[in-house]
Copies of this chain bind each other. A is one copy, B any other.
Amino acid sequence: MPVMNIIQAVNDALRLEMRRDPSVVVLGEDVGAFGGVFRATAGLQQEFGAARVIDTPLAEGGIVGTAIGMALYGLRAVPEIQFADFIFPAFDQIVNEVAKYRHRSGGQYPCPITIRTPYGGGIKGGHYHSQSPEALFIHTPGLKVVCPATPRDAKGLLAAAIRDPDPVLFLEPKRVYRAAKGEVPEGELVLPLGQAAVTRVGTQVTLIAWGAMWHEADRAAAEAAAEGIDVEVLDLRSLQPLDLDAIVASVRKTGRAVVVHEAPRTCGFGGELSALIQEHCFLSLEAPVVRVTGFDTPFPYTLENEYLPRAPRILKALRETVNF
């Protein structure tokens, strides 16, 4: 099996879906001849032409707005938002339009678009090239939200997102775009949305993460193991739909849970997970669910290592949770 990084896996999925289905269209800023500022669409315009791989004017609302029209007409539009931080000019089109189209029309107008966007910190991007806005979209009924951590999942979940009958926000962990390498099956790979991966089996505490932070969680779990703490690690992969069964099964077994995310803590997805765990595992819980997260500040430039919930802070939380 070939080894790829996440950029290559995304590129591979896009290419295969475009070959398979002539209605798949890619659009966004700099995605055409240039192949995207992260090169995720490199070579696509060369293969599929400027009619299906389109450089748009600089307006995220226009990118998503026109993608909606394409979807209503029957195409499978895959808009790219250059950085998740720049998704907000399209927020109204996503939250009031994409998410509600099927419902508001009584089922007459489905709107299956897949919005790809690199998210998260750790690349020295400061306030505006580092944000993790997943919670805002998970809070919006009608949207699905997917966030892979590995090249294999990036490929398989992106293909699934593009084929899905519902709109999907596909968050790509740019911090590990190139650093995360792994074997990826050649040819068609479609992984189901809504299934978490138990990437490490353990008994003492459940550690939940996704995207770039899954790598930190994985590291922390390994270090914890060296200290004799037996951690079960879940990579959520899809945040909406959520694999609640996997979470509940794990926490009922371990009795303890730590949730990790980059976004600010307050009203982040960690709060929702904490609430769900409590609702479903109340009688099994031996310690409060702990959140290891970004802080309630804008994302910083110089102090980004301090800001990010990396392995050392996760490890500390694991220790404290098992000793509660």
User: A interface vs B, CB < 8 Å?
Assistant: 85, 88-89, 91-92, 95-96, 99-100, 103-104, 127-128, 135-136, 138-142, 240, 263-264, 266-272, 274-276, 278-279, 282, 285, 287-291, 295-298
Residues of B within 8 A of A91 (CB): 88, 91-92
Asked if A278 and B267 make an inter-chain contact with CB atoms under 8 angstroms apart, the answer reads no
Interface residue from B103, B128, B279, B290 paired with A298 (Cβ < 8 Å): B103
Q: How far is the CA of A278 from the CA of B288 in the complex (A)?
A: 6
A-B contact pairs, 18 of them (CB 8 A): A88-B92, A88-B95, A89-B92, A91-B92, A100-B298, A103-B298, A135-B135, A135-B139, A136-B139, A139-B263, A139-B267, A141-B264, A141-B297, A267-B269, A272-B275, A274-B278, A275-B278, A275-B291
Q: How far is the CA of A272 from the CA of B274 in the complex (A)?
A: 8
Q: How far is the CA of A243 from the CA of B99 in the complex (A)?
A: 33
Query: Which 4 A-B residue pairs are closest in the complex by CB-CB distance?
Result: A88-B92, A274-B275, A139-B267, A271-B272
Asked if A141 and B278 make an inter-chain contact with CB atoms under 8 angstroms apart, the answer reads no
Q: How far is the CA of A263 from the CA of B139 in the complex (A)?
A: 9
- Identical chains in the assembly: 2
Interface residue from B141, B266, B298 paired with A138 (Cβ < 8 Å): B266
Q: How far is the CA of A240 from the CA of B275 in the complex (A)?
A: 19
Residues of B within 8 A of A291 (CB): 275, 279
Residues of B within 8 A of A287 (CB): 282
Q: Is the interface of A mostly helix, strand, loop or mixed?
A: helix
| Least CB distance, A166 to chain B, in whole angstroms | 13
Asked if B282 and A272 make an inter-chain contact with CB atoms under 8 angstroms apart, the answer reads no
Known: A266-B240, A267-B135, A275-B274. A298 touches B92 (CB 8 A): no
Residues of B within 8 A of A141 (CB): 264, 266, 295-298
Interface residue from B138, B142, B298 paired with A267 (Cβ < 8 Å): B138
Q: How far is the CA of A13 from the CA of B297 in the complex (A)?
A: 31
Residues of B within 8 A of A240 (CB): 266
| Least CB distance, A88 to chain B, in whole angstroms | 4
Residues of B within 8 A of A274 (CB): 271, 274-275, 278-279
| Least CB distance, A110 to chain B, in whole angstroms | 14
Residues of B within 8 A of A138 (CB): 266-267
Asked if A127 and B139 make an inter-chain contact with CB atoms under 8 angstroms apart, the answer reads no
Asked if A275 and B289 make an inter-chain contact with CB atoms under 8 angstroms apart, the answer reads yes
| Least CB distance, A288 to chain B, in whole angstroms | 4
| Least CB distance, A271 to chain B, in whole angstroms | 4
Q: How far is the CA of A88 from the CA of B263 in the complex (A)?
A: 20
Residues of B within 8 A of A100 (CB): 127, 298
Which residue in chain B gives the minimum CB-CB distance to A263?
B139
